[in-house]
Chain A
Amino acid sequence: MSELQRQPITQRVSCIVCPMSCVGEVEIAEGQVVRMVGFSCERGRAYAESEVTAPKRVLTTTVKLNGGTLRLLPVVSRQPLPKDKIAACVRCLASVEVEAPVKEGDIISGDLLGLGVDIVASRDVESVSR
């Protein structure tokens, strides 16, 4: 482990758990929380810990849709994805094309980038009758 990682790092975290919106600081060293200040409840502290050690986000975006009543299909990740993988996921989905009709929940890209999370359609789209 490099010297840099052993040095404690302080990160500011805005809590999103409730409308109180506490802003606190978390100090991490070697991937572990060593100090935490500014959060007023247990849920906030748990959120802050996950936010600095393994932040995750649900991804919503669109993919190209052929033959449908819409040109784009909105999609959502079934579970949250690691925050630092969001950009790579979006890049990967930019080249995905699907054919109408589609049903909400249809898997559009299974196990995206091997992260274990499926990207699914977030609505139904019918095909255009020709």
Chain B
Amino acid sequence: MNKQFFDVAIIGGGPAGLAAALSARKAGAKQVVILERDVELGGILQQCIHNGFGLHRFQEELTGPGYAGRFVRMVRADTGITVYTEAMVLEVAKDKTIWAVSPTLGLIQLSARAVIFAMGCRERTRGAIRIPGYRPAGVFTAGAAQRMVNMEGFLPGKNIVILGSGDIGLIMARRMTLEGAKVQAVVELMPFSNGLTRNVVQCLEDFAIPLHLSHTITFVHGRERVTGVSVAAVDANRCIVPGSEFYLPCDCLLLSVGLIPENELSRAMDICLDGLTNGPVVDQYRQTCVSGFFAAGNVVHVHDLVDFVSEEGDIAGRSAALFANGELPLEKQYINVKAETGIRTVVPQRISLPTAAGEKVRLFMRAQEPLTRSTLTITTTAGKLVERKLPVAKPGEMIVADISTEKISPDSQEIIVTLLPQSLGGA
């Protein structure tokens, strides 16, 4: 076992890791390594065979594999990037030694000057939402079913109910229908779908699949195999409305009930996490609270557009390369960015000072709830940085705003972000 040395090591070869590798090389890293646990690069994009990826990045609509392919080809063509596939990272040490295992190479040990976490996220399962009932076969997370149907050639069921109307749930409703299954209904706890309108129209309305808003599943029936589910309405407090229950027969239940950033490695090395994004607290360089460790993509916060994942990979890759070469500005002070009324999460959570002249920082925010005609305000103790009217804001669509760091004085205590209805927010 030879120990190898790299400028930048990237854990995860999905869209964030791929963009980070290319960006690190461009910013001067000589030797970059990607450690990927699947048999190939591309991450979850490879199972997202539908189109609609890349409108921001490439100004065209690509499929998931098509989007991944563009990055994979560039990475493969770059001799300064080493790729280990089927390499599962077991441990990362503070001195930036990484241990991984692979079926062909056994134990891999390598060392880097900078490390980028790009592990993405995984799905919440039935256990996380505690649906009562038996434990029959036929209950799958929507993403696992997507991989079965699109890559491995298995149909998880023929008569389907889907819980959760986020984009994955909606996309799977169409996919199962095209594969000849009958989708009985999509059940959504909230009074609105978190998916894009485009997906509600093209995945449900096109196939006349009912969407039950403000409903949930109260029981899973069947001992060996799912035979059906009980569905009930919920009130404004998301409590079940007595007497509203009805039964839907099915042989398969797909769960699209949220994603959890995969931070076991970060947690094991005491990297500070944000309780709401479930990802590391990062600054504008995507540096975590441990020097030389960066993070990008869904491991930081769950994105809805891969284009923004790639953008975050670009930032982390560039910053890690600069760090490896001793060129990243050393932080003297942090200004925290706080999400207040109307905003649930904001990334980056802090801005490190001093910043370069003319530097702009892009904030990625999620609204607490859907609002029409609201005002986004970003302020410091010294005054307003941004005030923008938003015709519509939805939790499912990230709000993006640039702030110019010149306006942030070192004595600002913190930066506060709010989203208020225009009647309350004034202006």
Find chain A residues with CB under 8 A from B50 CB.
Answer: 60
Find chain A residues with CB under 8 A from B68 CB.
Answer: 123
* B392 and A19 within 8 A (CB): yes
Contact indicator per residue, chain A 115-129, by CB within 8 Å of chain B (1) or not (0): 000000011100000
In the complex the two chains form, what is the Cα distance from A21 to B69 in whole Å? 31
| A104 and chain B: residue at smallest CB distance | B69
Interface stretch (choices A1-9, A29-37, A71-79, A106-114): A71-79
Find chain A residues with CB under 8 A from B65 CB.
Answer: 74, 104, 122-123
B394 within 8 A of A: yes
A61, A71, A94: most-surrounded residue (chain B CB, <10 A) = A61
Find chain B residues with CB under 8 A from A21 CB.
Answer: 197, 392
Find chain B residues with CB under 8 A from A16 CB.
Answer: 196-198, 201-202
Q: Which of B40, B66, B197, B198 contacts A76 (CB 8 A)?
A: B66
A58 within 8 A of B: yes
B242 within 8 A of A: no
Find chain B residues with CB under 8 A from A83 CB.
Answer: 206
Q: Which of B63, B201, B205 contacts A122 (CB 8 A)?
A: B63
Find chain B residues with CB under 8 A from A62 CB.
Answer: 49, 149-150
Q: Enumerate B109-161 residues with CB–CB distance to A below 8 Å.
A: 149-153
* A71 and B69 within 8 A (CB): no
| B171 and chain A: residue at smallest CB distance | A60
Find chain A residues with CB under 8 A from B39 CB.
Answer: 69
* A122 and B151 within 8 A (CB): no
Find chain B residues with CB under 8 A from A90 CB.
Answer: 178
In the complex the two chains form, what is the Cα distance from A16 to B397 in whole Å? 14
Contact indicator per residue, chain A 77-106, by CB within 8 Å of chain B (1) or not (0): 000000100100010001000000000100
* A14 and B51 within 8 A (CB): no
Number of interface residues of B (CB under 8 A): 32
* A14 and B150 within 8 A (CB): no
* A74 and B63 within 8 A (CB): yes
Find chain B residues with CB under 8 A from A64 CB.
Answer: 153
B92 within 8 A of A: no
A19-B394, A21-B392 given as contacts; is B69 within 8 A of A14 (CB)? no
* A124 and B391 within 8 A (CB): no
Q: Closest Cβ of chain B: how far from A11's Cβ, in Å?
A: 11
Find chain A residues with CB under 8 A from B414 CB.
Answer: none
Find chain B residues with CB under 8 A from A14 CB.
Answer: 197, 200-201, 205
A54 within 8 A of B: no
Q: Which of A20, A57, A69 contacts B202 (CB 8 A)?
A: A57
Q: Enumerate B289-313 residues with CB–CB distance to A below 8 Å.
A: none
A46 within 8 A of B: no
In the complex the two chains form, what is the Cα distance from A90 to B149 in whole Å? 15
| B149 and chain A: residue at smallest CB distance | A62
* B391 and A20 within 8 A (CB): yes
B197, B206, B394: most-surrounded residue (chain A CB, <10 A) = B197
* A74 and B394 within 8 A (CB): no
Find chain A residues with CB under 8 A from B391 CB.
Answer: 19-20
In the complex the two chains form, what is the Cα distance from A58 to B394 in whole Å? 26
* B202 and A60 within 8 A (CB): no
Find chain B residues with CB under 8 A from A104 CB.
Answer: 65-66, 69
Q: Which of B61, B63, B151, B180 contacts A72 (CB 8 A)?
A: B151
* B66 and A123 within 8 A (CB): yes
* A19 and B51 within 8 A (CB): no
* B51 and A60 within 8 A (CB): yes
B194 within 8 A of A: no
Known: A94-B180, A123-B63. 6 other contacts (CB 8 A): A19-B394, A20-B391, A58-B61, A62-B149, A72-B151, A123-B46
5 closest residue pairs by CB, A with B: A123-B65, A74-B49, A16-B198, A71-B153, A21-B197
17 contacts between A and B (CB under 8 A): A14-B197, A16-B196, A16-B197, A19-B391, A19-B392, A20-B391, A21-B392, A60-B50, A60-B63, A61-B178, A69-B39, A71-B153, A72-B153, A74-B49, A86-B178, A122-B49, A123-B65
